[in-house]
Structure 1
Amino acid sequence: MIKITKFGGSSVADAEHFKKIKGIIDADPARRFVVVSACGRRFSGDSKVTDLLYLVDAHVNYHVSCDDLLADIGQRYFDIADELGLSYPIREEFSAFAERASKGGYTTEELVSRGEYFTARLMAEYLGLPFIDATDMVAFHHDGTLSMKRTAELVKKNAREGGFVMPGFYGATKEGKVKLLDRGGGDISGSILAQCLEADLYENWTDVSGFLSADPRIVEGAQPIPRITYEELRELSYMGASVLHEEAVFPVRDAGIPLVIKNTNAPEDPGTIISETAKEGDSEPIITGIAGKRGFLAINVARDRTKSRIGFMRRALSVFERYGVSVEHMPTGVDQFAAVVQASDVKDSLYSLVSDIQEEVEPLEIEVVENLALIATVGRNLRGRPGISGHLFGMLGQEGVSVRMITQGCDEINIIIGVEEKDFDLAIKTIYKAFSDENGIVKTSDLEPVRAPF
């Protein structure tokens, strides 16, 4: 059996966490392929090594001394090596790196990648496994996109059957130029490796015991999710549930490999299993989870007989495309539609964009509704279950939450609502309460009808 184990920044923050990882690896002989991120925060107010390296790059670009920053980063690695008694010449290696970095000798991507590189070097020695650089395993096209075909060839050529440690987050082009994945891309590195090695399981180790059914900062006592489908995970991740990088699901999903989120600090916890399918039925929770994001606005466009005017919506949407703005949702009516976008995407161009829409389609009216938040209620067991929407909106009505937008996917696994940002926390608490019992446990049985307050 092959298990790919990926440890995030919080899991490799210091020597104590290295020790926890060794215990996890030693506990299961199937765990012999390890991917690591750069050292994360050790405590509240601490900095991630990746953030510090980006700051070093900024200092270099502005010709400001970064010696103190580099010294702080180096000390993080020196402390780990000293406490664990490692022989890897980290001081000599880091000194050479720091000297070159301070002179602007690295591209941004190569400089930032050294966080994962040095972490993996130390981890490989500590676990007694070979080190394989991600530049020899993860292939990029020249434009910075992944080359899965060539990556598979490199893994087949360079992987060690007995296991190895690989840094996440980066790879290289054929010419050897280092390229980075998106932030959080170490999750993607582990997923790619799982696909290429045809693993039986991809374990993603972090500082939480899997996904929770709601943000615990908003819903006290939110329950863990024992099992979730890739489909549900994508919905929740997109709407702000950030335990796992949303792009990490594709390689393992395509290969049919289950993924589990585990807690490095509590390895005995079952975590959350993510797979292509999950059992449906009365013994499963009605909803899987609730997630949401603030910072949206809606541009409402109205015109008589919109539906019969061929090309009306296409022309209006072409304006958003011209401005490079992604439309998140698009509720429609007989004579109007609304384009919901992230406010940050139009912060510098809103008035110009609205003006161009007016010129393009000559609407009767355009209204901009700001300070919106979107909330998704997600669950595979929502499908074909009568009364769910009525129950949800009845509870929101009782609490005085005004719903500004409603949309539901054709697959019936999510209900997305738009509310005013000031009602964001209340709406999430209300939805969670609507689908849980008096002990805060998400219900598995049918719901009692709720009478709306009118």
Structure 2
Amino acid sequence: MDKTVLKFGGSNLRRRSDLSTILEVIRMYNEPLVIVVSALNGVTNSLINAVKNIRTLDVDGFLSHLYSTYHDFLGEEFTPLKERVYQIRNMLIGTQLIGEVPDFVHDYVVSHGERCSSLLLTEYLNKMGLNFEEALPEQFGLVTDGKFNGASVDLTISERNLKGYFKEDRNYVVPGFYGMYENKVTILGRGGSDYSATCIAYCIDAKRVDLYKDVSGFMTSDPKIVPGVKSVEKLNYDEAAELSYFGAKILHHAAVDPVRKKKIPLYVYNIYSFTSLENPDTIISSDAFVTESIVKSISFTDDVAIIQFKGSNVGRVPGILGFIASTLGNEGVNIKSVVTAQTSINVLISSHDVERCQRITSQMKIAEVEDICYKTGISLIAAVGDGILKRHGVAARIFSAVSKQCVNVEMISAGASDVTTYFIVNSEDREKALKAIHEEFFGGDVFERH
């Protein structure tokens, strides 16, 4: 289809005036559109808190306040929107009665902000003289693998469904963040509307995906930590995927894969400094290129911990790593990475999974493992750029810069990806390490000199 997929996130929906900004952007397009929309800013957090505090929640008071948020945004009474908001009332009351929140209820309620936003935006755009219709994932069949609170889209089934639903010459507004499995809502994880947009683009063979944010695309590092960062104008799919996986919050970690499969370009715009469609802040495509500095961006995540399985021969005894991985995987634990040595197998996990993993590993019986210990309070820093493993001296520059700031590197890994080198430091040293690498590769005096 000759369609473009646009995505507007919650950061683009903070106040009523943002609707007119979105309208101005949409009017610049001359082809049929599919617009994927997130919940209004703050609404998803309100829904999550409502679910967490379900036993004491004033259901009618909560829904009244939620509707007033949408009413104020639209600026007038809109009965279908009020009815949409109150669709979760019986579910919330029923959940209160049983005193616990089933997974399917959690995902349905938490995704409700997107369904309300899609109806609001459809009404607004049509009122402004455009011609859009709302399309819900439960209508067009965006099918997932059924995993609650972090589902993946089944692209094969969904492609067949979407191509049979979407019409070539029509415009649609779609709620992001969730799909369906056996008539139950399954959310795609925080930031999942990016993933919704790229999955829809894959399924309808869109010509491009345009993501509108409140920041100027991918940056050379986190601007909240490192001064003097710059926008990264171009990334290939691997680079964007690695940056997202290792903590860059601008893009959902799974969003690149669908567009990579069909080589659909991805454009990122800052809606608040937007000038024209010809000037995106970052372009993500299949084009591979090596910059003079090699490193294009430095990302980090604090959501990491290490499980160390220690023993004199654990690294070379067949089957140990497989047993560890399958045991953790069967319990739903995602392994971020593994680094092995003769005397240690180091498994990187989310810091949120530490307590669960401690219970799991306490039951493990592995003869060769003499001790199991956990490292927390650490950060993973990733330097990303095409050619990083091929150009001599890049790694030396990274670790020399870090060493000059007296930062101890606890673990290093390279080779798992052709475009990434990552390492582990204590969280208290994370800021110094980021600034040191950024100064080395992008210049600027980011440290106070005495």
- For residues 386 and 119 of structure 2, the distance between their equivalents in structure 1, rounded to whole angstroms, comes to 42
What's the counterpart of residue 406 of structure 1?
A: 412
- Would you say the 8 A contact 1:299–1:339 is kept in 2? yes
Offset of 1:424 from its aligned partner?
A: 0.9
What's the counterpart of residue 10 of structure 2?
A: 9
Please tell me whether residue 231 in structure 1 is matched to residue 211 in structure 2. Answer: no
Shifted more, 104-113 versus 326-335: the winner is 104-113
Offset of 1:323 from its aligned partner?
A: 5.7
Please tell me whether residue 290 in structure 1 is matched to residue 290 in structure 2. Answer: no
Give unpaired runs (5+ residues) of structure 1. 41-47, 441-454
Distance 1:288 1:78, change over 3 A: same
- Would you say the 8 A contact 2:289–2:386 is kept in 1? no
Q: Kindly, what percent of the aligned residue pairs are identical?
A: 27
Question: Which one-letter code corresponds to 1:66 in the other structure?
Answer: V
Q: 1:115 aligns with which of 113, 116, 132?
A: 113
Q: 1:211 aligns with which of 211, 218, 239?
A: 218
Shifted more, 369-378 versus 69-78: the winner is 369-378
Distance 1:274 1:439, change over 3 A: farther
SS where residue 350 of structure 1 aligns? helix
SS where residue 93 of structure 1 aligns? helix
- Would you say the 8 A contact 1:297–1:368 is kept in 2? yes
Offset of 1:108 from its aligned partner?
A: 3.8
Distance 1:62 1:232, change over 3 A: same
Q: 1:76 aligns with which of 37, 61, 69?
A: 69
- Would you say the 8 A contact 2:153–2:199 is kept in 1? no
Question: Which one-letter code corresponds to 1:135 in the other structure?
Answer: E
Please tell me whether residue 66 in structure 1 is matched to residue 72 in structure 2. Answer: no
Q: How does 1:57-206 map to 2 (within 5 A)?
A: 57-59=51-53, 61-62=54-55, 64-82=57-75, 88-90=78-80, 92-94=82-84, 96-97=86-87, 100=90, 103-104=93-94, 107-127=105-125, 128=130, 129-140=132-143, 143=146, 146-160=153-167, 161-173=169-181, 176-206=183-213
SS where residue 35 of structure 1 aligns? strand
Aligned length: 424
Distance 1:220 1:375, change over 3 A: same
SS where residue 247 of structure 1 aligns? coil
SS where residue 225 of structure 1 aligns? coil
- Would you say the 8 A contact 2:67–2:82 is kept in 1? no
- For residues 120 and 286 of structure 1, the distance between their equivalents in structure 2, rounded to whole angstroms, comes to 41
Q: How does 1:297-376 map to 2 (within 5 A)?
A: 297-306=305-314, 309-315=317-323, 320-321=328-329, 324-350=332-358, 353=361, 359-363=365-369, 368-376=374-382
- For residues 333 and 365 of structure 1, the distance between their equivalents in structure 2, rounded to whole angstroms, comes to 15
**Deviation readout 1:287-346 (Å, 9 max, x if unpaired):** 111111225443444444555544454455566456654443333334433333333322
Which of the two has higher C-alpha Rg?
1
- For normalisation by structure 2, the TM-score amounts to 0.84
Question: Which one-letter code corresponds to 1:104 in the other structure?
Answer: G
- Would you say the 8 A contact 1:81–1:90 is kept in 2? no
- Would you say the 8 A contact 1:12–1:36 is kept in 2? no
Distance 1:286 1:65, change over 3 A: same
Offset of 1:401 from its aligned partner?
A: 0.8
**Deviation readout 1:126-181 (Å, 9 max, x if unpaired):** 2222222232123336835634344223322332323121222234456x444433
What's the counterpart of residue 394 of structure 2?
A: 388
- Would you say the 8 A contact 2:309–2:344 is kept in 1? yes
SS where residue 360 of structure 1 aligns? coil
- Would you say the 8 A contact 1:137–1:171 is kept in 2? no
- For residues 178 and 400 of structure 1, the distance between their equivalents in structure 2, rounded to whole angstroms, comes to 49
What's the counterpart of residue 220 of structure 1?
A: 227
Question: Which one-letter code corresponds to 1:124 in the other structure?
Answer: T
- For residues 263 and 66 of structure 1, the distance between their equivalents in structure 2, rounded to whole angstroms, comes to 37
**Deviation readout 1:250-270 (Å, 9 max, x if unpaired):** 221111101111112121262
- For normalisation by structure 1, the TM-score amounts to 0.83
Offset of 1:363 from its aligned partner?
A: 4.1
Q: 1:255 aligns with which of 257, 262, 285?
A: 262
- Would you say the 8 A contact 2:412–2:423 is kept in 1? yes
- Would you say the 8 A contact 1:11–1:264 is kept in 2? yes
Please tell me whether residue 22 in structure 1 is matched to residue 12 in structure 2. Answer: no
- For residues 112 and 142 of structure 2, the distance between their equivalents in structure 1, rounded to whole angstroms, comes to 17
